[in-house]
A and B are shown apart, each in its own frame.
Chain A
Amino acid sequence: MVSVPELDSASPRKWRDAADDAVAAAKQCDGLASYARDEVAGTLRTCWVGDTGKAARSRFVRHADDYEAAAVALRALARVYDGLADDIADAQRDLHSALDYARRHDLKVDDSGRVRSARSVMGPRDGGQHLEPVEHARDVISAALSKATRADIEAARALRTIEGLTDIGDPKLVGDALKDDSPLGIALRLSGGLDGLHRINVPPTVLAAVDRAALETGMSRKLLLAVLWQEQQWHQNHSPGLRGPVTEFGRLFNWSLAVGPKPDKSLGITHIKLETAREVLERNREVFKLTDGRYMSELTDAELAAEIEADPQLDVRLSAYHLKELKEDPYGSRSDKDLFVLYAADTPGVRELNEMYGDESGRRGGDIKSRGENWDRIEPHLEDAMAWEDLGDEERDQAVEQLKSQIPVPRDVYIEPIYSDGGPVGGVGEKDPDLGPLTPSPSPAPPPIPPAGG
Chain B
Amino acid sequence: MPLYQRGPHQWRQEPGSPLAGHMRGDMSFDDEWNQLVAEANRRREARTRLESAEGGGRGGAELADADFGLEDGPVRSKASGIRTATTEARSKSKLADARAAGTSHSGWLAGAASDGCVNAWQRRLHGLSDLVEDAADALTEAMDQQIDQDRSTAAGLRASSRWLEGA
User: Residues of A with Cβ closer than 8 Å to B?
Assistant: 2-3, 6, 10-11, 14-15, 17-18, 20-22, 24-25, 28-29, 31-32, 35-36, 39-40, 43-44, 46-50, 52-53, 56, 59-60, 63, 66-67, 70, 73-74, 77, 81, 84, 151-153, 155-157, 159-160, 162-163, 166, 192, 360, 362, 376, 380
Instruction: Tell me whether B50 and A39 are in contact (CB under 8 A).
Output: no
Decide if B12 is an interface residue (CB 8 Å cutoff).
no
Q: List 22 A-B contacts (CB under 8 A).
A: A11-B104, A28-B89, A28-B93, A39-B81, A39-B82, A43-B74, A43-B75, A43-B77, A46-B50, A47-B72, A47-B73, A49-B43, A49-B69, A52-B142, A53-B70, A152-B110, A155-B110, A156-B109, A156-B113, A159-B110, A159-B114, A160-B113
Segment 108-125 of B: residues with Cβ below 8 Å from A: 108-110, 112-114, 116-117, 120-121, 123-125
**CB-CB < 8 A to A162: which residues of B?**
117, 121
Instruction: Tell me whether B75 and A14 are in contact (CB under 8 A).
Output: no
**In this complex, which of A3, A46, A192 has the most chain B Cβ atoms within 10 angstroms of its Cβ?**
A46
Instruction: Tell me whether B132 and A166 are in contact (CB under 8 A).
Output: no
**CB-CB < 8 A to B113: which residues of A?**
155-157, 159-160, 163
Measured between C-beta atoms, what is the minimum distance from B15 to chain A in Å? 16
Segment among B1-9, B95-103, B152-160 that sits at the interface with chain A? B95-103
Instruction: Tell me whether A70 and B124 are in contact (CB under 8 A).
Output: yes
Decide if B107 is an interface residue (CB 8 Å cutoff).
yes
Write out, one digit per residue, whether chain B residues 142-155 have a CB within 8 A of any chain A CB (1) or not (0): 10001000000000
Q: Are A66 and B93 CB-contacts (below 8 A) given A17-B101, A156-B109, A156-B110?
A: no
**CB-CB < 8 A to A53: which residues of B?**
69-70
A22: which of B73, B82, B95, B142 is its contact (CB, 8 Å)?
A: B95
**In this complex, which of B81, B104, B128 has the most chain A Cβ atoms within 10 angstroms of its Cβ?**
B128
What CA separation (Å) do A77 and B75 show in the bound complex?
35
Write out, one digit per residue, whether chain B residues 43-78 have a CB within 8 A of any chain A CB (1) or not (0): 100110010000000000000000001111111011
Instruction: Tell me whether A29 and B93 are in contact (CB under 8 A).
Output: yes
B97: which of A21, A32, A47, A60 is its contact (CB, 8 Å)?
A: A21
Q: A24-B93, A40-B78, A362-B107 are in contact. List 4 more A-B contacts (CB 8 A).
A: A32-B128, A39-B81, A44-B75, A163-B120
What CA separation (Å) do A380 and B112 show in the bound complex?
12
**CB-CB < 8 A to A66: which residues of B?**
128, 131
Measured between C-beta atoms, what is the minimum distance from A351 to chain B in Å? 23
**CB-CB < 8 A to B128: which residues of A?**
32, 63, 66-67, 70
Instruction: Tell me whether B69 and A160 are in contact (CB under 8 A).
Output: no
What CA separation (Å) do A56 and B114 show in the bound complex?
36
What CA separation (Å) do A166 and B125 show in the bound complex?
9
Which residue of B has the minimal Cβ distance to A155? Answer: B110
Q: Are A18 and B135 CB-contacts (below 8 A) given A40-B82, A47-B74?
A: no
**CB-CB < 8 A to B97: which residues of A?**
14, 17-18, 20-21
What CA separation (Å) do A21 and B99 show in the bound complex?
10
Q: Are A6 and B100 CB-contacts (below 8 A) given A29-B89, A48-B71, A70-B125?
A: no
Instruction: Tell me whether A63 and B114 are in contact (CB under 8 A).
Output: no
Decide if B161 is an interface residue (CB 8 Å cutoff).
no
**CB-CB < 8 A to B104: which residues of A?**
11, 14
The B contact surface, by secondary structure, is helix
Which residue of B has the minimal Cβ distance to A11? Answer: B104
Instruction: Tell me whether A36 and B116 are in contact (CB under 8 A).
Output: no
**CB-CB < 8 A to A50: which residues of B?**
69-70
Q: Are A63 and B109 CB-contacts (below 8 A) given A11-B104, A21-B98?
A: no
Decide if B162 is an interface residue (CB 8 Å cutoff).
no
**CB-CB < 8 A to A166: which residues of B?**
120-121, 123-124
Decide if B92 is an interface residue (CB 8 Å cutoff).
yes
**In this complex, which of B43, B70, B82, B121 has the most chain A Cβ atoms within 10 angstroms of its Cβ?**
B121
Segment 123-137 of B: residues with Cβ below 8 Å from A: 123-125, 128, 131-132, 135-136
Instruction: Tell me whether B132 and A32 are in contact (CB under 8 A).
Output: yes
Instruction: Tell me whether A17 and B100 are in contact (CB under 8 A).
Output: yes
Decide if B19 is an interface residue (CB 8 Å cutoff).
no
Instruction: Tell me whether A156 and B101 are in contact (CB under 8 A).
Output: no
Measured between C-beta atoms, what is the minimum distance from B124 to chain A in Å? 4
Instruction: Tell me whether A35 and B107 are in contact (CB under 8 A).
Output: no
**CB-CB < 8 A to A24: which residues of B?**
92-93
Instruction: Tell me whether B100 and A32 are in contact (CB under 8 A).
Output: no
B70: which of A22, A47, A60, A77 is its contact (CB, 8 Å)?
A: A47
Decide if B88 is an interface residue (CB 8 Å cutoff).
yes
B100: which of A18, A39, A77, A151 is its contact (CB, 8 Å)?
A: A18
**CB-CB < 8 A to A63: which residues of B?**
128, 131-132, 135
Decide if B85 is an interface residue (CB 8 Å cutoff).
yes
What CA separation (Å) do A28 and B124 show in the bound complex?
14
Measured between C-beta atoms, what is the minimum distance from A403 to chain B in Å? 15
Instruction: Tell me whether A32 and B86 are in contact (CB under 8 A).
Output: yes
B101: which of A18, A59, A362, A376 is its contact (CB, 8 Å)?
A: A18
Measured between C-beta atoms, what is the minimum distance from B138 to chain A in Å? 8
**CB-CB < 8 A to B36: which residues of A?**
none
Instruction: Tell me whether B116 and A160 are in contact (CB under 8 A).
Output: yes
Instruction: Tell me whether B117 and A163 are in contact (CB under 8 A).
Output: yes
What CA separation (Å) do A70 and B86 show in the bound complex?
14
Instruction: Tell me whether B101 and A81 are in contact (CB under 8 A).
Output: yes
B92: which of A3, A28, A153 is its contact (CB, 8 Å)?
A: A28
Instruction: Tell me whether B109 and A153 are in contact (CB under 8 A).
Output: yes
Decide if B139 is an interface residue (CB 8 Å cutoff).
yes
Which residue of A has the minimal Cβ distance to B143? Answer: A48
Instruction: Tell me whether A2 and B98 are in contact (CB under 8 A).
Output: no
**CB-CB < 8 A to A70: which residues of B?**
121, 124-125, 128
**CB-CB < 8 A to A49: which residues of B?**
43, 69-70
